Structure 1
Amino acid sequence: MKTGDLLIVDDDSDILTAGKLLLKRQVNSITTCADPSNIPGLMASNNFDVILLDMNFGPGESDGKQGLMWLEKILQIDPQAVVILITAHGGVNIAVNAMKLGATDFIIKPWQNEKLQATVSSALKLKQSRSEVNTLKRTNEVLAESSGQPTSPLIWGESVAMAQVMTMLERAAPTDANVLILGENGTGKELVARAIHKQSLRGNNVFVSVDLGTISESLFESELFGHKKGAFTGANEDRVGRMQAAHGGTLFLDEIGNLPLHLQSRLLTALEQRKVTPVGSNESIAIDVRLVAATNMSAAKLADPEHFRQDLLFRLNTVELSIPPLRERPEDIPSIARHYVELYCKKYAKTAKLLSQSALDAMCSYSWPGNVRALRHAVERAVILSDRAVLEAEDFQLDPRNAGSQTANQLSEPAIPNKLGTDDDLNLDKLEKQAISQALKQHGFNISHAAKTLGLTRAALYRRMEKHGL
């Protein structure tokens, strides 16, 4: 199979012809050059995988100085260039020294055909490896940059409570201290975690997020610590665990309160030793991560040893940030709502819209059991469906049962008909929405518990919540 583009530079036309005839079946294209002064121009207009460069140009020359000079210029143009030197028997020592300066290999002329073909083949593989490494490096840089950016802007608002959170974040972020973020679902815990990472000394490295609520107990160690090929059925190749993947960066453990006690012990061991042992391996791998964790579990419940290991808690909450629910900071609602109105008008190419005072009053008095996430969804829906320049309270379809300042746990259960008589009662979409709404409120909007009650994964529940605007 042909692969790669080749440049042969030699002032001997016979060498150029012989090389081209011998190697034409091995590579995609071959460019020949008798005058080395043309090398910069050729490299500018072509992307050569391998360059064969003569050591001497001009009659009677044998000291290899010209070859070394052009080798240096080639590597200045492209430090990753793969250069094979062509030398006579007497120039072997010079060629060896040239390899110390960056040449990849050398061949002696008159060459053996098999030797030249094998040398070129090895050089092409080296070039391919270098290209793959560079591509991977660039990909990782992009991933590291993008992973450090919030998936959605972090809107703080203007309340005293959020100002205090911001102050603590700004103080904690530049350190390497572990941070535990507490808050109800939808308050923006992951966005806060990403903000901590971005403002830390590890901000240019990777941010790895792990939702512990979606990982089954049987796959916990494989996901976090990795596994070796053949460690268990289905382990068809080595896998790097999330903790190892986060080496040098930040590891965000979301929904850590849902982790069973026996798995908390395994996590604690890895954090204390700062090592992980992949499943099926006897060798430990050192890790260097900054740990940020989050949970919707209350501080009181976390302090209960029956629910959470206290030694793990002490390791996690060097700094503890508590994100207040939206209903406790209604003064933040106008700025957050206006931000999302502007955002979704741009996203959906809508004419700029304003919020009426009645809409703002209704939103500020609403309990928002889904917090900022629910507010964002309500605004997005209103922007899509309303053709008015000023959005009114009715555009947001706020559930009157959630009006006022009651907490999610104080909300009344939705009425479910005991009899299904009409066609409307049998509408599957409505029944699904009703069931999801009831499960969410029954569990205080704990996504993991609601999903378990409904027999869904967290991801599937989120998709259905998006579908029904919950």
Structure 2
Amino acid sequence: MQQILVVEDESVIRTALRRLLERSGYGVSEAGSVQQAESDHSFNDFDLIISDLRLPGAPGTDLIKKAGDVPVLIMTSYASLRSAVDSMRMGAVDYIAKPFDHGDMVNAVERIIADHPTQKAQEQKATASNSGDTSSTSGIIGNCQPIQILFGHIQRMAPTESTVLVLGETGTGKELVARSVHQQSSRANKTLISVNCAAIPDTLIESELFGYEKGAFTGANASRMGLIEAADGGTLFLDEIGELPMEAQARLLRFIQEGEIRRIGSVHSRKVNVRLICATHRNLQQLSAEGLFRQDLYYRINVLRLSLPPLRERGKDILHLAEHMMQLQTEKLGKASMHLSPRAIQAITTYQWPGNVRELEHAIERAVILSESEEVDNEALGIDLELVNINRIRGQDGIVGSTNRSSITGSNEPQEDLSLEDYFQRFVLEHQDSMSETELAQKLGVSRKCLWERRQRFDIPRSKSTAGGRRRKSEPQTG
């Protein structure tokens, strides 16, 4: 995991950056000044340093020489050409003006780390290349830590004959994991049969799995092999096993215990050699405690377990997946190469994706079809960026339209999933009683007009102390 050091004296902005970068798959450390950065950290441990230009004590540009070959990105609230040019003359790789959105920051970080690899990063890349490390396994794309752990577990579990239980939310790619386990096993050249237990009616599931003999029931005009028997020598993948009826669960348990099946209407059992992989988005342990799933079957299938992270917890993988899916869709539709706009990147990294990878795939497909230019915007993805941000503020922090601010000021540590826009609102609410509008605007790096517009947009009233005599004494009226 690539490591970033954020040096910023404002804890609100510093923590906002940490949350954003961690959500994008980076490891992040913090410091409030150049002196603290020097005393608490070794610069050689980082792939990038992001520092504010104006800090208490030494300026952020002092880090450029101290950091050695580690690139330094300078942030400035004073986005003048002179300060930017001076910073880059001193060796900064780039600068970014505050306030900035998710897309601008993530794009800058990705570009700088890719274009300015440190010696440590080059050595790690060479080691990974020599060890045959890959970022994709049987269609599973990802470099985040949970996915890398998953790859390692698959490699250890696949060569065995033990039953595997795959857990994960709907749309996370459980069937891809099952296919990967099969392809890395000794049965790779044999059949893999996938069965969605939720898609087969309860009255047919047993005959589908175990088969039947001629005359076993009305309409059984000929004998038929079941799916378990058809998978003999290979692998059987039972998706959504939590939806399996109790009667079928009993028959499945016997198959697992004895390694044999008996067709419906037959008196003879047949030995089968099948590797079983099961998957579910439900809590089987809770279902078994409630009597809705056989406890003995749960213990039988819960031998080796693989857990898939939801898409919202996969950081930078979200963008990699989106770009990969976009490339596949443009090739499929015969369109020219397309790319995501900054607002689309912000939408993709901000949206929670309850439908996970499947929902992302459908959103990208829709965007490629509907977009008339090479740049895909968030509207084509079907994501209302403003609604996502406002809903997050309302639902997680109670900022908009709230008169009770104890949840905001009562803790020094902001909530986990706040966006940079949320922190902008938090900063205003925390400091408007002690700062004038001019001071607030300068600290945030925006004009007074922009600050006023954001207050209107997010329905954040000015405090009485700020709107009253203090403003009249020290500030001109907003025209």
TM-score when normalising by structure 2: 0.51
Q: Distance in 2 between matches of 1:387 and 1:155?
A: 30
Matched, 1:229 2:214: yes
Q: Look up the SS of the partner of 1:185 in the other structure.
A: coil
User: Compared with structure 1, are the counterparts of its residues 167 and 397 closer, same or farther at alpha carbon in structure 2 (3 Å cutoff)?
Assistant: same
In the alignment, is the contact (CA less than 8 A) between 2:140 and 2:177 conserved in 1?
no
Letter in 2 for 1:219: L
Deviation at 1:405, TM superposition (A): 12
Q: Which residue of 2 aligns with 1:307?
A: 292
Superposition map of 1:234-273 within 5 A = 234-273=219-258
Q: Distance in 2 between matches of 1:281 and 1:405?
A: 62
Q: Distance in 2 between matches of 1:405 and 1:159?
A: 28
Superposition map of 1:19-34 within 5 A = none
Which of 318, 326, 333 pairs up with 1:333?
318
Q: Distance in 1 between matches of 2:375 and 2:367?
A: 11
In structure 1, list runs of 5 or more residues that go unmatched.
1-151, 412-470
Q: Distance in 2 between matches of 1:303 and 1:401?
A: 43
Amino-acid identity (%): 45
Matched, 1:289 2:274: yes
Name which one, 1 or 2, has greater alpha-carbon Rg.
Answer: 1
Q: Look up the SS of the partner of 1:168 in the other structure.
A: helix
Q: Which residue of 1 aligns with 2:408?
A: none
In the alignment, is the contact (CA less than 8 A) between 1:367 and 1:406 conserved in 2?
no
Superposition map of 1:117-266 within 5 A = 154-266=139-251
Q: Look up the SS of the partner of 1:180 in the other structure.
A: strand
Letter in 1 for 2:154: L
In the alignment, is the contact (CA less than 8 A) between 1:366 and 1:405 conserved in 2?
no
Letter in 2 for 1:205: K
Aligned residues: 258
Q: Distance in 2 between matches of 1:306 and 1:328?
A: 32
In the alignment, is the contact (CA less than 8 A) between 1:345 and 1:352 conserved in 2?
yes
In structure 2, list runs of 5 or more residues that go unmatched.
1-136, 397-479
Q: Look up the SS of the partner of 2:180 in the other structure.
A: helix
| Offset from partner CA, 1:194-249 (integer Å, 9 cap, x none) | 11101110000000111111222222221111111111111111100000000000
| Offset from partner CA, 1:402-451 (integer Å, 9 cap, x none) | 836999xx99xxxxxxxxxxxxxxxxxxxxxxxxxxxxxxxxxxxxxxxx
In the alignment, is the contact (CA less than 8 A) between 2:232 and 2:273 conserved in 1?
yes
Letter in 2 for 1:180: L
Q: Distance in 2 between matches of 1:405 and 1:210?
A: 41
Superposition map of 1:311-460 within 5 A = 311-399=296-384, 403=388
TM-score when normalising by structure 1: 0.52
Q: Look up the SS of the partner of 2:216 in the other structure.
A: coil
User: Compared with structure 1, are the counterparts of its residues 207 and 340 closer, same or farther at alpha carbon in structure 2 (3 Å cutoff)?
Assistant: same
Deviation at 1:193, TM superposition (A): 0.4
User: Compared with structure 1, are the counterparts of its residues 401 and 315 closer, same or farther at alpha carbon in structure 2 (3 Å cutoff)?
Assistant: farther
In the alignment, is the contact (CA less than 8 A) between 1:226 and 1:239 conserved in 2?
yes
| Offset from partner CA, 1:68-120 (integer Å, 9 cap, x none) | xxxxxxxxxxxxxxxxxxxxxxxxxxxxxxxxxxxxxxxxxxxxxxxxxxxxx
Letter in 1 for 2:170: N
Task: Please give the root-mean-square deviation of Cα atoms over the aligned residues, in Å.
Answer: 2.3
Q: Distance in 1 between matches of 2:140 and 2:283?
A: 23
Q: Distance in 2 between matches of 1:179 and 1:190?
A: 12
Deviation at 1:177, TM superposition (A): 1.3
Q: Distance in 1 between matches of 2:180 and 2:196?
A: 18
